[in-house]
Each structure stands twice: as C-alpha cells, then as structure tokens.
Chain A
Amino acid sequence: MDMTKLTTTLLATTVLTGAAGAAMAQEELNALVWCDHMDPELIAPFEAEHNVTVNLREYEGTGAALALLDQSRPGDWDVLVIDGIDVFRAVDAGILAPLDAAQLPIADFFPEVVMEDVNTVDGVTYAVTEKFGYNTISYNAANVDPADMQSLVTVWSEKYDGRISIYDYYLPVMGLAAISQGIATADIGSDNLDAIGDVMGTMRSRAASVAGVVAAQTALATGEVDIVVGGGEWLTAVLAEEQPDLTWTIPTEGAVRWSQSIGVVEGTEQPDLALEFVKYIVSPEGQARLATSSCFWGMPANAKAGDILTDDQKAVLRWDDQPDYLALTQLYPAPDDALDADMQDLWLDTLSQ
C-alpha cells in the first residue's frame, strides 16, 4: 500500500469512526415515567455509561399514559414505568414487549414484591417491580397521639375531626377503608362496596381536604392537617429532615402496598438499549438512587440496594421493619373494568357529599 492509499484509508476510517461516534452520541432513549425518574442523579450515570440521551416524560394516571401511547407511533417510546396493578392493562393493549427476565436480578428482589402474578401474563414476563411502598397513615407526632394511629378506626374518629387530609386517589384509600372493615383488598367487589362507601363517608366527613401529593405535603407541613390518610414514606420522607415530627405508621389492621413496574415498550427500535435501561434501574446502584429520588422516596425492589444506601437513608425508609410491613400490608385493589368504574363513581360520589 503506497502512502497516498494509506493516508486516504486512515482519513476515511477516521471520518467514518467520527461519524459513527457522533451518531452514537445522538442516540436517544424515550421513557414514559413517574416523577421519581426525572431526578438527574438517577438518569445521568446511565446516560454517561451508554453515551445516550434519555428523554423522560412524566405522566399521572395509567389512563393518560395508555392514551398517549395509543396516539404514538411504534418506536416513539422505549420504556414504560407503570403502576404494578396496571401491567395487565398495558399487556392487553399490546403496549409492553416480553422481557427477558433471566437478564434481570430478580433473585435479589424482596420475594413479596417480585409479584409474578402482576408482572407476568400467560407465563411471559412483561415487566418487573422496581419500587414499592405503602399507602397508610402519615401524621404529625407532635399534634396527635401516636397510639391512636395504630388503629384505622381511631384515625378517622371524631377526635381528629377536621385534622385529616385524604390522599386523592381512590384505589388506595378505598383499600384502606376495606381493610378497616376486615375486607381484603383482593376481595373488594360489588357486594361489599356499600360497606366500603359507609366508611368512606365517615372518613370524608372528618376530612379537611382531599389532596394530591404536593397539597397533602403542604397541608401536613404547614399544620393545616395533622393526618394524611393514604400517606406513607413517599409523603413524609422528603420532609423528615426539616420536620422530624412528620412520620408514618402501619396500623394493626394493615395498610395498602403500592408498587411500580418497569418494562420495554412493544415496537421499540432499540430493544437492547431499553433492556439496558431496565437492567440499570433494577441494579443495586439504580435502585438506591431511585429509592431516594428527589420527587419521592420509596423502597427499592432489589434488596441489594441496601448495600449502597446509607444508614440514615435506610432509617428513613424503615429498612429493618420491612419484613413486618410486608407481612402486614396488602396489594392495591386491582379491579376489573366494571368494578373500577363503580369504585370511581363511589369515590366521586363521596367527594361530592
């Protein structure tokens, strides 16, 4: 090879390599997520490691997410974070792609939150749990008797009339109402909605407000209310440093356990990168960052995250109490469409009282 040819070849190789590098640098991953994934502390390490830009879009409510995906073209979205109980809805709608569970550290997960029945349809895994926590009772220990918070019935008793806020989401709140009546969340049905409605009515009559996340935090932090029914670590953990009296508990009757799952969107044009993102999120490092996200804290599904979280962080998350909490709590109600519509109507009817 003469020098001219060699120079040309080297130049061409350099240009092509540079172009390929530029193309790789422009690679993008589009994820439809909850607000806890918006934390740059969580996303930046993945972007740096894979030389990729992760475009995140936050949503609230599975219905909104499904509508958005329905209006998108195949390949627009790569990753979806979804309420654990709604994974089957996304699978029914053909939105989630099968996930290679063998590549994920599911064996390291807390066994109670693997929830194969939720994340698997007809033996095929479509999602994995990434974070969980509790819809229970948050309260200001300086203003209420903590002993009263150990029973759901006393929480919404006359003693705390006007000092309660109810979390603005019907599934966990109706779950708590059911648990207070000895009805398992899995057994909620049209035959016991009246009994649950009675409890909701009492709860509503005692409440000063029915509030979303920010409004509930504001109400608790400013002393507008002393109790948030449906609250939990996700509500008070970010406030704990400044206001240590704001805490949470799981009453003796139990509480509701929430979970969020992550999966790869069907039709993605970069399934390998999407899978890498899922693997990162459920890795101990990703899990520790997700658990302590600036939007809201929650327990990581992967128990190995405990090796990375600090003692202070684990104390806020009540790491050592998890075995008891997991035993005491029940999964969100997962109604079918007809029951879901009835529950939503009951909720709106209660709010309108």
Chain B
Amino acid sequence: MSTKGQHAQGWGFVAPALLWTFAFFIVPFIVMGAMSLATLDGRTLIWGLSFQNYAELAEKRFLWRAILVSLEITLTVTVVSVVLAYPLAWIIAFNVPKRWQRLALLLAILPFWTSYVVRSYAWLLVLARDGVVNQTLINLGLIAEPLTLANTRFATVTGFVHFFVMLLTLTIYANLVQLSPNYRRAAQDLGASAFQTFRHVILPLTLPGIVTGAFLTFVLCIGDYVTPQILGGNTELTVPQVIMVQLGRRADFPLAAALAIVLMGIVTVAYLASARWLRLDRL
C-alpha cells in the first residue's frame, strides 16, 4: 500500500473516534461555553457575550463557598484514598501469592458491582445514630452517646473513599507488578534499608500509577452530585449541588453552565499540575 493509502487508512480508523469526540465533547463544550455567556431575563434566555454569571461567582458567597467546599472534599478524598490504596495494592502485588492475586483484585473491586446510589444509602444506614458503627462503639464502651456521623462531611468523604480506594488500588497495583524485582535487590545490595528502598526507588517508580489514579479520583469526585447529596445531608454545598439547584426550578442554564465551566477549569489546572506523571495509557 502506498504512503498515501496508508495515510487515508489511518484517518479512516481514527475518524469515528474524532467524530465522536467532536459531536459529544467539542460541540457540547462550545454550547456550554456560549450558554455561560448568556443571561436569563425572567424566563427568557438571552444569548450574548455577558460575563454576568462569572461576576456572580465573586458576588455571591454561597457560590465561591461551594467551590471551596468542593476543593476541600476532593483533595481530602484524593489524599486519603491514595494513603489507603497504596498499602492495599502493595499487599496484593507482593504479599498475596500469584494464584490468589486475581481473586484479591476481584474482591477489591466488588463494591463496583452494586449501584452507586444504593451504596450511598447503605453508608447512610451504617453511619446512622443507631447504625453499625455507633452501636459497635457503644457496645465496646468507647462512647456513651451515638456520634453524629451521617449527614456530615465525614460521611461524604467516607462514601467517596470507599469507592475511590478501589480505583486507586487498581492503578497502583498495575504499576507495582510492572516493577522488576531487580530494583529492590539492587537497592538492598547497595545497602539501602527497606524504607530507603521504598522512598528512593519504589515510590518514584510507582508515581505514575499514583498520579493517574489520583487524577481520575479528583475528576470524578469534584463533579459528583450523588454522594454529597445523600451522605452530606446538604450540611454544606458542593458545586454540582448548586448547579442542580439552578436547574431544578428556575432552569437557570446560564449560571449552571458558568459553574460547570469553572469546574472544568479546576480539572484543567489539576491536569496541568499532574501531567508530568500522568500515564493514562497504563489503565
């Protein structure tokens, strides 16, 4: 086949993906961007180039507060998930016999098999005043009165971490099993302690897996509506919750679009900050 023919064939293969991306990402994004510059006069949508919706972000306390809350929750979830997922992935990769690793991974991702909403409501029951956690603590004599766990940020973070630890475990595990055992042996031969080997050899080499999982956690967490809505009890509002309120009754699509653009901006910043280590091809 000639070079020209190969070129055409190549375009033929990527064309469906390009068209898909154009139709379902680029076009909606342009529409959303245009919508964020529109305004709502009563119930009439007025297209234009107004930055009024973005100005409202500075003017209305609850809007920037929602951005702050979303960032705080997302960063907490990401850090906690990484801290919990890394040892789990390590144990599966290095301490579980090869023949059991597949089963261990299967067990690790078991929570993915249930509905996200059902899982959130299940956590609500677990964390309730008379739920398993409080009853256990009371029976152990550790507390006299039930703790307020449900409808708090703690509940939101717990629900998120339960989900994202599984995701991070997979990405970190995929990175760990690709490491040649020779790295560890070489470090130990050179006199490195177990901690030094981990700190200076293993951790840097597994950073791409960590950052890839952390980035996915960040993206999915900051845009999630269900978990904070069910488990957070609206005790504080995240950006997706504020977006839903804008749409629910008043159908204020321009302000909702502006908030969505802000979310995308935050995700873009997160991407740029982590791009150096991102290895999405390893998923």
Q: Which residue of A lies closest to B232 (CB)?
A: A209
* B248 and A348 contact, CB distance less than 8 A: no
Instruction: Determine whether the beta carbon of A62 is less than 8 Å from that of B148.
Output: no
Instruction: Determine if A351 is an interface residue (Cβ-Cβ < 8 Å).
Output: yes
| Segment at the interface with B among A215-223, A228-236, A289-297 | A215-223
Chain B: minimal CB distance from A352 (Å): 4
- Please determine whether B233 and A208 come into contact, CB atoms closer than 8 angstroms: yes
Q: When the two chains form their complex, are residues A340 and B249 in contact, meaning their CB atoms are under 8 A apart?
A: yes
CA separation between A178 and B274, bound complex, in Å?
50
* Chief secondary structure at chain B's binding surface: loop
For B66, the chain A residues whose CB sits under 8 A away are: 352
Q: Which residues of A contact B61 (CB under 8 A)?
A: 349, 352
Name the CB-closest residue of B to A171. Answer: B249
| A211 at interface, CB cutoff 8 A | yes
Taking CB atoms, residues of chain A closer than 8 Å to B234 are 168, 209-211, 351
| A252 part of interface (Cβ distance < 8 Å) | no
Residues of chain A lying within 8 A (CB to CB) of residue B230: 215
A66-B130 Cα distance, complex, nearest whole Å:
41
Contact of B128 among A92, A222, A337, A347 (CB under 8 A): A222
A345 CA / B242 CA spacing, docked (Å): 10
Q: A93-B43, A215-B230 are in contact. Are A351 and B250 (CB under 8 A)?
A: no
Smallest beta-carbon distance B47→chain A, Å: 14
Q: How far is the CA of A218 from the CA of B248 in the complex (A)?
A: 22
B173 within 8 Å of A by Cβ?
no
Chain B residues whose CB sits within 8 angstroms of the CB of A218 once the complex forms: 121, 124-125
Asked if A345 and B124 sit within 8 Å, CB to CB, the answer is no
Instruction: Find out whether the CB atom of B62 lies under 8 angstroms from the CB atom of A60.
Output: no
Q: CA–CA, A347 to B237, complex, Å?
A: 11
Report A154 CB to chain B, min CB distance, Å.
22
Known: A208-B151, A337-B43, A344-B245. A352 touches B65 (CB 8 A): yes
In the assembled complex, B253 has its CB within 8 A of some CB on chain A? yes
Identify which of A89, A162, A224, A351 gathers the most chain B CB atoms within 10 Å of its CB. A224
Nearest-CB residue, chain B, relative to A209: B233
Asked if B42 lies at the interface with its beta carbon under 8 angstroms from chain A, I say: yes
How many whole Å from A100's CB to the nearest CB in chain B?
A: 27
Known A-B contacts A209-B233, A348-B62; A224 and B248 likewise in contact (beta carbons under 8 Å): no
With contact pairs A211-B233, A218-B121, A352-B66 given, residues A67 and B251 touching in the complex (Cβ less than 8 Å): yes
Q: Which residue of A has the minimal Cβ distance to B41?
A: A337
Residue pair A215, B248 in contact (C-beta under 8 Å): no
User: Within 8 Å of chain B (Cβ to Cβ): is A48?
Assistant: no
Contact A63 B128 (CB under 8 A): no
Contacts of B170 in A (CB 8 A): none
For A223, list chain B residues within 8 Å (CB): 128-130
Contact check, A352 vs B62: say whether CB atoms are below 8 A apart: yes
For residue A61, CB closer than 8 A to chain B, the reply is yes
Instruction: Report yes or no: A64 in contact with B251, Cβ–Cβ below 8 A.
Output: yes
- Determine the residue in chain B with the shortest Cβ distance to A224: B128
How far in angstroms is the closest Cβ of chain B from A102? 31
Instruction: Determine if A341 is an interface residue (Cβ-Cβ < 8 Å).
Output: yes
Nearest B residue to A222 via CB reads: B128
User: What 13 new A-B contacts, CB under 8 Å, besides A61-B248, A219-B151, A351-B62?
Assistant: A64-B248, A208-B148, A209-B234, A211-B233, A215-B230, A223-B128, A341-B252, A345-B60, A348-B237, A348-B242, A349-B60, A352-B66, A352-B236
Q: List 20 A-B contacts (CB under 8 A).
A: A60-B248, A62-B251, A63-B249, A63-B251, A67-B247, A208-B151, A209-B151, A212-B229, A215-B124, A218-B125, A337-B43, A337-B250, A345-B62, A348-B60, A349-B61, A349-B62, A351-B62, A351-B237, A352-B62, A352-B65
5 smallest A-B Cβ distances: which pairs?
A209-B233, A63-B251, A61-B248, A210-B234, A209-B151
